[in-house]
Structure 1
Amino acid sequence: MREAGASQVSVGIFAWAMLEPAPGEYDFGWPDRIIALLHGVGIAVNLATPTAGPPAWFLRRHPQARQVTREGHILGGGARHGFCPSSPAYRAADRDRPCD
C-alpha cells in the first residue's frame, strides 16, 4: 500500500460481525494487528464505524430491524445498509456498542 502511495486507509467498515461474532463477544485482536502493521509502515488509519452492516445474529434476534418495502416485503440482511436505521433495536445496539 505504501508503495502505491497510500498514506491513510479505513479499517473496520461493515465489520460488525467480525468485531462481535456473537452477542456480547468481542474480538479486537485482528484490528489491533492490522493497525499496528499499517502504522509500522507509516500509513495512518481511519477507524470506521462498523454498524452499516449488522451481523446475521442481530437480524435473527431483532427481525423488526430489517428493512420493509412499501409493499410490506421484508428484505434480507447481509448487504450494505440491509437494516432499518430507525428501528429502536438497531439504534439501541448502535448506541450501546463499546468504542471500536
Structure 2
Amino acid sequence: FASSPSPHAPVHDIPKLNDGFYGNSNSHINGPVPSPVFFGIALPEETAISSIAWGRDNGNGAFDDSVPGGDACGGQCDDRSAGSYTLQFTTVANPDQTTPDGDWTTIAAFNYS
C-alpha cells in the first residue's frame, strides 16, 4: 500500500514495492501527494525481520557508468532513494493507507543518502 498511486503506472505501480525483482523497470515510484509520502508492506503474519534494504537499479553496469548496463540509467540509477525515512510497524490486522497514525510504532528515523 502507498499514500498515492504512481504517476508512472503500471511500470512503477505499488505491487513493485516487494516483488523480489531488481532494476528500474521493476521498481515502485510513489505519487507526490499527500506529503509526506509513505508506503508499506503488509505481511500475512508476525514476521521476524533481520534487515531491510532500499532497492534501486542494482545494476548490470558499473556504478560510475563506465560500463553501460542493459537497464535504465546506464545500468545504475543512483538518484532514487535519498531522503528522510521513518521505519514503523503495526500489529493491526490488514494495515493499509487508512491505518491511523496512533496504531504505528516507530522503530527508527534516519536519513539515507
Do both proteins adopt the same fold according to a TM-score greater than 0.5, normalized to the shorter chain?
no
**Bigger strand share:** 2
**Normalising to structure 1: TM-score of the pair?**
0.31
TM-score by length of 2: 0.29
Higher RCO (CA-CA < 8 Å; seq separation 6+): 1
**Relative to total residues, which structure has the larger helix share, 1 or 2?**
1
